[in-house]
A and B are shown apart, each in its own frame.
Chain A
Amino acid sequence: SQQGEEDPQALSIQEGENATMNCSYKTSINNLQWYRQNSGRGLVHLILIRSNEREKHSGRLRVTLDTSKKSSSLLITASRAADTASYFCATDAAGGGNKLTFGTGTQLKVEL
């Protein structure tokens, strides 16, 4: 399977703490994207990082990309209960034409 791996599979933290999720993938990529999914719903795009970028920020989100290790991380700072969701990384393979391969996902639970 070409599917990427994410860890941890599940993460439970207290509100206000930071949450870090990691993603590893297998092929050369154009970009890597992070998505959020609330239970039983569609996907919400969070951030896209290109293969020539190493770090990107958006609000409370910080994404890093290490193409030599084929890995990425998503950091959510000052987490809130509303951040509770599943988070997926997805890679757009070089030459893939916007066809995404998703990681296994991390289920984040932020408790009050």
Chain B
Amino acid sequence: GAVVSQHPSRVICKSGTSVKIECRSLDFQATTMFWYRQFPKKSLMLMATSNEGSKATYEQGVEKDKFLINHASLTLSTLTVTSAHPEDSSFYICSTAKSGTKNTEAFFGQGTRLTVV
């Protein structure tokens, strides 16, 4: 069964509204989760590292005020796309790995297809 659950799988929203995406680790505690973005027919690009109980670390070029990340518990991280615009339309996907481990596979959520109209 799924180790990481991401919700919703698809969302269509109007331009200017905000959308929240949830990523839950089902089988283990995850002090760190990662958020990626994927444009059609492109690869995954890391957006930010979500740290439980502290601020997220954003990759260069990713606006932290645009993509709000909250990691309030050891099993849940949320990504909120604020004031969404059509160019934010993309596939967003989260991942995590067992905390304190190395050389272990990452587990990915099912992804969220965001369409901003």
Q: Which residues of A are at the interface with B, using a C-beta cutoff of 8 A?
A: 3, 30-31, 33, 35, 40-43, 45, 48, 50, 88, 90, 92, 97-105, 107
Contacts and interface: CB of A to CB of B under 8 A. Distances in A.
Nearest to B49: A99
A100 B91 contact: no
B61 to A, nearest CB: 10
26 contacts: A3-B45, A33-B105, A40-B91, A40-B113, A41-B110, A42-B93, A42-B108, A42-B109, A43-B44, A43-B95, A45-B106, A45-B107, A48-B103, A88-B43, A90-B44, A90-B106, A97-B32, A98-B34, A98-B96, A98-B102, A98-B104, A99-B46, A100-B106, A101-B46, A104-B43, A107-B41
Interface of B: 6, 32, 34, 36, 41-46, 49, 91, 93, 95-97, 101-111, 113
Contacts of B102: 30, 98
A3 B110 CA distance: 22
Contacts of B106: 33, 45, 90, 92, 98, 100
Given A42-B93, A42-B108, A100 B103 contact: no
B44 A102 contact: yes
Given A42-B108, A99-B34, A50 B44 contact: no
B32 A98 contact: yes
Nearest to A88: B43
A88 B93 CA distance: 15
Contacts of A3: 43, 45
B36 to A, nearest CB: 8
Contacts of B91: 40
Contact of A105 (B43, B96, B104): B43
